[in-house]
């Protein structure tokens, strides 16, 4: 499945903040989950919303604070996702 340019840019930022040893696994799992989320809504490409949902579902809860910071650092308005904002 294709990536929306904005979603891919944010994903690259998140991957670069991920420990090097975990990047391949993170890339595979998040890409798969984001594609599933996109397919569920009938899309042909992965959008930013799909990525955000996938990340919060894939990444363990103890790391969500760091994820929120990384998303904010990539210019994502986390308040648009109230279920993940705190």
Q: To the nearest 10°, the Cα dihedral for 66, 70, 21, 1? A: 120
Phi, psi dihedral angles at 45 (to 5 degrees): -145, 155
The pLDDT score that the predictor gives to residue 86 is 78
Helix (H, G, I), strand (E, B) or coil at 49: helix
**Predicted confidence band of residue 85 (pLDDT cuts 50, 70, 90):** confident
pTM of the predicted model over 0.85: yes
CA atoms within 13 A on the CB side of 40: 10
Helix (H, G, I), strand (E, B) or coil at 3: strand
Structural domain boundaries in the chain = 2-75
The pLDDT score that the predictor gives to residue 82 is 93
- pLDDT (tens digit per residue) in 55-81: 999 999 999 999 999 999 999 999 999
- pLDDT (tens digit per residue) in 10-61: 999 999 999 999 999 999 999 999 999 999 999 999 999 999 999 999 999 9
Q: To the nearest 10°, the Cα dihedral for 46, 31, 38, 56? A: -110
């Amino acid at each position: 499945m294709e990536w929306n340019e904005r979603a891919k840019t944010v994903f690259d930022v998140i991957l670069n903040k991920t420990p090097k040893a975990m990047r391949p696994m993170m890339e595979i799992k998040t890409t798969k989950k984001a594609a599933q989320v996109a397919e569920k809504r009938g899309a042909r490409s992965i959008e930013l919303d799909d990525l955000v949902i996938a990340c919060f579902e894939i990444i363990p809860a103890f790391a969500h604070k760091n994820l929120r910071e990384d998303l904010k650092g990539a210019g994502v308005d986390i308040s648009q996702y109230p279920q993940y904002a705190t």
